[in-house]
Structure 1
Amino acid sequence: MPKRSTLRLTKRSVDALRPGGKDAIFWDRDLAGFGVRVHATGRKLCIVQSRGPAGLKRATLGPVGDRTVEEYRREAAASIDRIKRGEDPRPPEPAPEPTVADLAALCLKDHVAARCKPATAENYRKSIDGHILPALGSKALKDVAPEDAANLHHALRATPAAANQAIWVLSKMFSLAESWEMVPPGRNPCRHVRHYRATPRERFLTPDEFQRIGDALKTFETKRSMQPSAIAAIRLLMLTGCRSDEILTLQWDDIDRAARVIRLRDSKTGPRMVPLTGPVGKVLDGIEREDGVPWVLRGAQPNSRLSCLSWHWRRVRTATGLHDVRLHDCRHSYASRALALGEGLPVIGRLLGHARVGTTAKYAHLVRDAEKAAAARTGGSIAAWIMPGDAEAA
């Protein structure tokens, strides 16, 4: 057992303690249960001891010198109170400070996965994984300052759109953190970051380019060198102006032949209807339907749907030499063609699904004749280029 002595523990008295042949404990005269253990090696540790409901408990507070004697005395007094209440003498470990990486994971799980469409979710992941986490992932939320956001934005200045997107996502993350009480109000570091002026990318297909894509699809079809569902998907995108996800998630139950509409149940702007024109019907007629599979555009695996067109579209671009044309440009080109045919902006907006759910709800059972006619003229015009000989009147 170590030797026991008592004295008033101060910095001077503790510094003066010398090791003997054995360990020794020196107890404080002012606070019963607070002491210093001096090992035979010369090491000195502040300790605390008291009796509680479970009996005598002793704990080490820390090495002398790490904190002042007075700081250890205050900690000892708190530890004695905990022991007498039957609790652990050591203070509870503080919860680790949440980091930007923690917030990102929570954002993706509780916000993006629950509320965002696949394309939006992909944009979140690109910004988070590609830019935000490499720059700020290990930083505690409380330590992220406005200059961190400004530096991130500046580092991406060569790609203004990506820079703006990263700041938008980071700002959204901190807005969520405030609502989740992970940071106090007013802690968003992106508030004063001025977005770069990004030039909108506009690329519209010409009649010749429509024809080149149509010829390439026909060649792939004849040679059976591309998945039939991918060929059909690209044709439907060009003939309807729909978004990729709207076409890829299409089910046979969405096709209403009697009303001549396609009912999109989960469009970006909510449920909406797309006119089923003659050329669109021709493409759908050419798709082999498989019993028990709800998807119009089947995937390579049993009971699956086609989930991505990127690889197929790259092959189309290579075959046509249109290396700067994105798949989404087919949607822009549909709108451009409709404008060229004299359709009004409100009609085009509805054809593209730009209206809100409340605006499209009035057409629950019937699409306006103007929209049907506009879709027929636009789709028929494009079909004459990409499906020569197969295009039918709506």
Structure 2
Amino acid sequence: MQYNKSFYQIKSNETIFEKVKKEVNSIGYYSLPFQDTTNVKKFAKDVKQSHIAVIGIGGSTLGTFAIYQFLKRTNDFTKKLHFFESTDPTDIKQRVKKLDLEDTIFLVISKSGTTIETISIFKYLSSLVTMSKNNCVIVSETDSTLTAFAKQNGMQTFEIPKNVGGRFSVFSNVGLLPLAILGVNIDELLQGAKEVHNSFFNEDKYYDILMEKARFMIENKNRFNINVVFSYSASLEGFNKWYIQLWGESLGKININGTKQALTPIGLIGPVDQHSFLQLIAQGKRDKTVTFIKVANFEDDTKIPKNTLNGFDELTYLDNLSFAKLIDEQANATIQSIKDLSDIPYDIITINKVDEFNIAKLMYSYQLLTSVVGKFVQIDTYNQPGVEAGKIILKEKLNNKV
């Protein structure tokens, strides 16, 4: 008699937690909040250029962009941060126009050191301005082709640890270097991540939150397989993009029993998407969970003025209302409408303040949540074989000039 199965037992929280704790010894992102930032801060302090050009893609840029976009509206950064990610030629040229090439420091970021998009853009920019130790820094693994190039040309290098995957690398040199040069307080970033780390591994507040959320998602994944993040701040659009990569690339896998796992991420911005995707959530198929993210303190008291337009007497309740209050009430109204339906699972995350500490707490908690969910569904959370297949095909086509 032979017996085969394509299902697995959902483990206890205690078992999953033990598995996560064992990963700490081999998966590098867990320890990043505790690193020494002295060298990064020292280098950043000496950068004179006014423009920072980050050349990278995916995990090499999305986390940095998420933090930058969240903080830039409430900070007067004296330097300008630019991202070169796409091989779209019109996009590249438009971004180059925003640079003063002679007043730019170029940060080339690639874990492998051979990322096609990154090296292609690097080669192009090198035709426009001479790359040297005075204006170019390499962030890569210590033994990559890119690092070897840097050493041959006397360029400064910063390491990406081999055990830190791209989409988990925002709190490594990948994110800390450009953000430190920009003027972000990277120690406060790491402090926010550290608070979540300690709370989780001490089985305190974040342990309860993340375990409960992960377990619900796994126990209900066949019914609610779409996970929507509904962020009520335009400054969180970058976070949404980062979350989509983190969630999709980490959890869209085949597990140890050969079963395809599919927890699909969607990122929305409120109130904009109240006028589009909310209709699908409210009256569409019940296959979605929703996480609402609110900002408690925008540190902005801009108000809707009174008596600037005639003929809107029915909207006088808007007079002298702050936009911060308005967007908060828009979030509350949407949440209430979902709550009243009684059959859509939702939760609410409130960011206390727009600063480094709080965005790091949010991002690190999502990294931990991703790891926990990965353990529940018994996959390798940190590889991406589906992505690698396309890279192999592309290289073969380009080599054959097809």
What TM-score results when the alignment is normalised by the length of structure 2?
0.26
Give the structure-1-normalised TM-score.
0.26
Largest Rg, 1 or 2: 1
